[in-house]
Amino acid sequence: MGEKILVTGGTGLIGKAIQKISINYNYEFLFIGSKDCDLTNFDETLEYFNKIKPDYVLHLAACVGGLFKNMNHKVEMYEKNIQINNNVLKSCHLVNVKKVISCLSTCIFPDKTSYPIDEMMLHNGPPHDSNDAYAYAKRMLEIQSKAYQQQYGSNFICIIPTNIYGSHDNYSLEDGHVIPSLIHRCYLNKQNNEKFVVRGTGKPLRQFIYSEDLAKLILWSLDKYNSKDSIILSVNEKDETSIENVARLIARSYNYEDNIVFDDSFSDGQYKKTANNARLMNLIKDFEFTKIENGIKLSVDWFIQNYDTCRK
């Protein structure tokens, strides 16, 4: 086996996707979840990193949730993420990890901005107030990574994916992101012969990246991306789609599209967050992204097959 890669958040959506494709890479992968190590505890984190002594770290672990978790649990979203990120980066520094790739999100960009957003615009104003606590904690991860670059020459970089979906997601109706929670809701509505109610107008626009596509791009970032600058990992601007279209694709996968209803008494959140992936596309021109129609069909099929055991 080759050098050792430690993947924090290794049991989550992206971690599982990396696990699936890891057989194609000449590394020894170690995927850890919260049961293996409490990353909010510095002593426990450092002890674990000292025991493993990884060559590389893919830092995916975070306290995450959908719109309503971000709005209703701001203290938890801020404090837990600050603790996790501080403990992981400090431990990586102390055990001399060669390269760390930390995962941010396009939802942490400024609310009032011009589009498309690019990597240089991350700190150009406050984030949307619906997820500001999470966003500021994640922005500090980039600040901390750059501080280690500048003070110690550390190869600590950040990737910025757009909305991720795929197998092994969190399908919670309340705390899940939009695609998995809609997949679960539509499943239950069809079982109970109820209307498929989608919260909000369906008008907001998003770029969605399939988890296995992101997994490939993360490992590309490890092997081939030599800049210290953060990089957006996203589908193209023309692939941006509405929540309504996503909901209809999900309903169609269940053959239940005639029963869809949009409830505009619920908040839509931010209208759009269009990201510019030019930096990525200039470096990896021939990358083919999974079409949203295919990705949603795969995600729905996986959810149905794993209904009894998946996170929900």
Nearest to 140 by CA among 222, 80, 201: 80
How many whole angstroms separate alpha carbon 170 and alpha carbon 16?
12
Q: Cis ω on the peptide bond leading into residue 116 (within 30° of 0)?
A: yes
Q: Is residue 134 flagged as an active site residue?
A: yes
Tokens 């931010």 belong to 270
39 and 8 Cβ atoms separated by less than 8 Å: yes
Please pick, among 48, 134, 171, 210, the residue that the annotation labels catalytic: 134
Nearest to 68 by CA among 266, 231, 206, 245: 266
Bridge partners (DSSP) listed for residue 210: 165
Instruction: Kindly give the pairing relationship between strand 205-206 and strand 241-242.
Output: antiparallel
How many whole angstroms separate alpha carbon 232 and alpha carbon 219?
14
278 and 76 Cβ atoms separated by less than 8 Å: no
Angle between helices 74-94 and 132-152 (to 10 degrees): 20
How many whole angstroms separate alpha carbon 182 and alpha carbon 191?
14
How many whole angstroms separate alpha carbon 173 and alpha carbon 235?
26
Which residues are marked as active site? Answer: 134
